[in-house]
Structure 1
């Protein structure tokens, strides 16, 4: 019985250690890494794209372009700001006009793949491509 308990405790400890090792830790250099980066994403419906550059001073100008051939094929822009929060998430605030849906605020985890590609995953599942 004692051997079984020790074995179970050892297995539980190993599993807990492995889970901790796989927990994403905030990147202390995230703000520096994301400063000057170019971002792009497509709306959930696929009817528009948004692009922006994160300036070093925290400013952004986001441009939303409608899909070619759609009624909303024109583009519109709005200013805002970006930051990296205490948990290492990229946060964006955009002052969209009421006709464009009003202000937009979100934070998203920053993921860097094995190939070095950086992406953000928004709450609705969309991916935001990040490039320099």
Structure 2
């Protein structure tokens, strides 16, 4: 597996697969990102599931103190004996309105900030950055 480096995606080895954008939510190109105020209404205390382009997913609860305990599941397109992992980290909403997560996994570190887009059907997407695929985002309380 190749290592991709990007200032916006330190999660490259875990998150970016060869599946392109398959499995990501569709949204209109002119969709606007949710504001920091809108994110402050939906993210604190929410259970979050991020599904990456290769089918891998991470799940956690956004605790009120900014911490999280995450679980990782390999998607169906990943050929690996290691299907599950646990990680700990932090989450926040940046001043410029991005959803950010920093997660220490057993062998990797995820550190990303992405705009959140809400589609017409009510689903959420973490918008792509610098040509990387969009990621599906499920938010529930």
Give the structure, 1 or 2, with the largest relative contact order (CA under 8 Å, sep 6 or more). Answer: 2
Q: Distance in 2 between matches of 1:67 and 1:114?
A: 26
Q: Name which of structure 1's ranges 49-58 and 87-96 shifts more when overlaid on structure 2.
A: 49-58
Please tell me whether residue 120 in structure 1 is matched to residue 129 in structure 2: no
The equivalent of 1:26 in structure 2 is 35
Query: Is 2:48 the partner of 1:39?
Result: yes
Give structure 1 stretches of 5+ with no counterpart. Answer: 1-21
Q: What's 1:107 paired with?
A: 113
Residue 4 of structure 2 corresponds to none
1:119 CA drift (Å): 2.3
What whole-Å deviation, never above 9, does each CA across 1:66-121 have from its counterpart, x for those lacking one?
34694334311110010001111000011123x2x2x2110000112233323212
TM-score, normalized by length of structure 2? 0.61
Change (3 A) 1:71 1:64: same
Q: Distance in 1 between matches of 2:125 and 2:53?
A: 16
Aligned CA-pair RMSD: 2.6
- Return the structure number with greater helix share: 1
Larger Rg: 1
Q: 1:104 to 1:54 in 2, by over 3 A?
A: same
Matching residue of 1:63: 71
Distance 1:43 1:23, change over 3 A: closer
Q: Secondary structure at the match of 1:52?
A: strand
- Please show how residues 4-15 of structure 1 align to structure 2 within 5 Å: none
